[in-house]
Amino acid sequence: MSDKNIEYSVEGIDKFKSLIEAINICLFCTNLKTHDGATTRPMSVTHVCDQGNIWFFNAKNSEKNKEIEQNPTVQLFFAHPAKGSYMVVNGDAIITTDPNKIEELWTPAAAIWFEKGKDDPNISLIKVTPSSAYFWDTDGNRMINLLKMAASFVTGTNLVSGTEGDIKI
């Protein structure tokens, strides 16, 4: 992948949202100074708003929330190997228990984690405001790209194409 694109404003947010919606699950990293995997957890995205903020439901008393309260800087790693789509997002997180926002973002999937529903006393939302994002997106599907990689090996020419670049949010 050598074509480097830079996405801006509306186009950038559209690209950002489409990648997140296609992948949905990320590795959510807190406490970045420790460089220890114990502060990285898989999380499902609840919503990406038109400003590019990423929302997650989370237990209010979780270690993740405690770490965010100590240091709001986070990294999110999205990967969809089957589609050849990847993205890293850097940003700051805040925690809210605003009942109106919980109502607005509530999904049936959230009910799995919160037994008492929207009124569960342990429910919170994490809002990540991105400061930067970088993506890699391979053109075509996985099988075609595997064939292209094999042909590239035989011919000595890179036949796999795609785009990568900063997403300006």
pLDDT recorded at residue 160: 43
SS3 readout for 51-74: CCCEEEEEECCCHHHHHHHHCCEE
Range of the structural domain that residue 79 is part of? 3-166
**CATH code (residue 45):** 2.30.110.10
pLDDT recorded at residue 143: 47
pLDDT recorded at residue 34: 76
* 21 Cβ contact partners less than 8 Å away, ≥ 6 residues apart: 45, 48
pLDDT recorded at residue 150: 47
Q: pTM of the prediction?
A: 0.81
Cβ(164)–Cβ(134) below 8 Å = yes
Q: What is the mean pLDDT of each run of 10 residues along the chain (169 residues)?
A: 49 87 94 81 95 96 95 96 88 97 95 93 97 82 46 50 65
Cβ(12)–Cβ(33) below 8 Å = no
The domain total for the chain is 1
